[in-house]
Amino acid sequence: MEHGRLLFPCFLLVVLFAASASAQLRTGFYSNTCPNLESLVRSAVTTKFQQTFVTAPGTLRLFFHDCFVRGCDASVLLSSPTNKAEKDHPDDLSLAGDGFDTVIKAKAAVDSDPRCKNKVSCADILALATRDVISLTGGPFYNVELGRRDGRISTIASVQRKLPHPEFTLDQLNTMFATNGLTQTDMIALSGAHTIGFAHCGKFSKRIYSFSRGNPIDPTLNKTYAAQLRQMCPVNVDPRIAINMDPTTPRTFDNAYFRNLVQGMGLFSSDQALFTDPRSKPTVYQFASSETAFRQAFISAITKLGRVGVKTGNQGEIRIDCTRIN
């Protein structure tokens, strides 16, 4: 009896330790296998960013869409010969090609170091590239937890109802983010990503032309801004036309997104809802008035986003070509 009582807790401890050792991401994951990883990725991303600004918003949005569908496992990068992969879903069709290209270029840079070749997952390269584009546009620099493995499955079907839509209400946003272990504060901070990048007119045209019967313009939208949006997005505009989401500092990762919301200048209903709804308004005010508060909340939230559904240990694989399973 004495023996059994002692044995049980020890056995339990070992099991618990083994489980957490394989499930936890950590910042130094590649420090022995690929010591120069971070500078290899950073210089490839910087070169790409100098060629085109879309590198930044394209990569950031790609990371978000990857993590919300099957976890941060680079499944969004996979191509299928019959166009039935994640990236072929309508919700992913507007992902900028430059985001995908950024990961391909960074992966080539990593693999050019013989120590690193085929040792670093595409999922980790995307997480690092995302950190780098945020800091390149003036946002916070933070340590990236690593150790993700690449997924082997990517289907159109898995995207369905996994990504938020621009007409979502606060409740719908909160529900979807909560499913991914993110709080309302995380969701608001992450929405601050809309401080850089572009949106196609069709994503918000209902708000400026056909909001409701007798009210063509969404009343939560700033009237001056609505008039500007109508000018940039006339009826029957070329569907390829995209406009800046942050009209004030479109190329800087700052808290202008929140200052815009306070002025009724959120582009999507899902953006403006954060200020309209009394449950989220105080947080919007806080981030609008304190760049520091926003940056801290954003770092915490994107770190949590990077943990969503990750494969670790011997799950998944280290993809040789980010667009194909091994």
Ligand X SMILES: *[C@@H]1O[C@H](CO)[C@@H](O)[C@H](O)[C@H]1NC(C)=O
Closest residue to ligand HEM using C-beta atoms: 197
Rounded to a whole number of angstroms, the minimum distance from the CB of residue 292 to ligand X is: 24
Instruction: Tell which residue, 198, 214, 216, has the closest CA to residue 206.
Output: 216
Q: Does 100 bind ligand HEM (CB under 6 A)?
A: no
Q: Does 220 bind ligand X (CB under 6 A)?
A: no
Q: Which two tokens stand for residue 311?
A: 């494969």
Q: Does 224 bind ligand X (CB under 6 A)?
A: yes
Q: Does 200 bind ligand HEM (CB under 6 A)?
A: yes
Q: Which residues in 248-287 contact ligand X (CB under 6 A)?
A: 263-264
Rounded to a whole number of angstroms, the minimum distance from the CB of residue 280 to ligand X is: 17
Judged by beta carbon distances under 5 to 8 A according to partner kind, the member of ligand HEM, ligand X, none in contact with residue 224 is ligand X
Q: Which residues pair with 150 in a beta bridge?
A: 317
Instruction: Tell which residue, 38, 42, 74, 66, has the closest CA to residue 322.
Output: 74
Q: How far is CA 318 from CA 166, 313, 326, in A?
A: 34, 11, 8
> Which is closer to ligand X, CB of 222 or CB of 303?
222
Q: Which two tokens stand for residue 214?
A: 């007798």
Judged by beta carbon distances under 5 to 8 A according to partner kind, the member of ligand HEM, ligand X, none in contact with residue 316 is none
Give the separation between CA 282 and CA 209, rounded to whole angstroms.
30
Q: Which SS3 state, helix, strand or coil, does residue 150 take? A: strand
Q: Does 222 bind ligand X (CB under 6 A)?
A: yes
Judged by beta carbon distances under 5 to 8 A according to partner kind, the member of ligand X, ligand HEM, none in contact with residue 71 is none
86 class by beta-carbon count within 10 Å (0-12 exposed, 13-18 middle, 19+ buried): buried
Closest residue to ligand X using C-beta atoms: 222
Secondary structure E strands in 39-149: none
Active site residue 3: no
Q: Which two tokens stand for residue 65?
A: 């869409």
Rounded to a whole number of angstroms, the minimum distance from the CB of residue 157 to ligand X is: 42
The correct pick among 165, 206, 251, 307 for binding ligand HEM (CB under 6 A) is 165
Q: What sign results for the dihedral spanned by CA atoms 57, 60, 62, 68? A: negative
Give the separation between CA 72 and CA 149, rounded to whole angstroms.
9
The correct pick among 48, 61, 107, 131 for binding ligand HEM (CB under 6 A) is 61
Whether residue 305 contacts residue 192, with contact meaning beta carbons closer than 8 Å, is answered with no
Q: Which residues in 206-265 contact ligand HEM (CB under 6 A)?
A: 242
Count residues near ligand HEM (CB under 6 A).
Answer: 26
Near ligand X by CB under 6 A, which window of 40-48, 162-170, 221-229, 282-290? 221-229
The correct pick among 149, 203, 259, 319 for binding ligand HEM (CB under 6 A) is 203
Give the separation between CA 210 and CA 218, rounded to whole angstroms.
8
Active site residues: 65
